[in-house]
């Protein structure tokens, strides 16, 4: 998605945030925003909406079933449903922190990962043959019922400042 398209699609949200910021600074009215993050997910979709189902399995083994719409990414869904899936780069394909592990059956139905995604996956903690980045898996009818597992840890070289050591 181009930056121009991203920001023009989210323009109403930016306008609302700017107005709220102005009111906070320039009036005695003090309130906290209940709107979602400006750059994540679809603003017009609520929890529980959508024809598709996704099963998230947390690192602790808890299964969380959520509803999804066409084009939702696993990252969009995790953020919409407050599932702890890290995203250091905010979905810009510049880290591996939204790494998820897919069931083989559904992994085989997905398009091949791009070279950029494979490069980031090489940095992921606990990489498997069915690993993908959550920001790159878009829901569609073929993926209805998918189960994705969230690994027990993430690796973010930009934050950690470390590089893997080879023995």
Over residues 32-91, the pLDDT tens digits come to 433 333 344 555 567 788 999 999 999 999 999 999 999 999 999 999 999 999 989 989
Which pLDDT belongs to residue 21?
46
List for the chain the helix, strand, coil content (%; round to 5). Answer: 30, 15, 55
Burial class (CB in 10 A: 0-12, 13-18, 19+), 13: middle
Which pLDDT belongs to residue 80?
95
Count of residues for the chain? Answer: 167
Q: Evaluate if pTM is beyond 0.75.
A: no
pLDDT band of residue 157 (cuts 50, 70, 90) is: low
Place of tokens 């869904």: 77
């Amino acid at each position: 998605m181009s930056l121009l398209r991203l920001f023009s699609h989210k323009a109403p949200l930016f306008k609302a945030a700017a107005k709220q910021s102005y009111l906070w600074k320039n009036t005695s009215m003090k309130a906290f925003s209940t709107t979602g993050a400006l750059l994540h997910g679809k603003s017009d979709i609520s929890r529980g909406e959508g024809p598709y189902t996704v099963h998230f399995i947390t690192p602790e083994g808890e299964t969380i079933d959520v509803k999804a719409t066409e084009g939702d990414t696993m990252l969009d869904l995790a953020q919409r449903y407050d599932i702890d899936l890290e995203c250091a780069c905010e979905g810009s394909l510049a880290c591996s922190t939204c790494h998820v592990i897919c069931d083989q059956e559904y992994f085989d139905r997905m398009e091949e990962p791009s070279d950029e995604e494979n490069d980031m996956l090489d940095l992921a903690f606990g990489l498997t043959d069915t690993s993908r980045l959550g920001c790159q898996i878009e829901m569609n009818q073929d993926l209805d019922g998918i189960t994705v597992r969230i690994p027990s840890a993430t690796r973010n070289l930009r934050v950690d400042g470390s590089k893997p050591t080879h023995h």
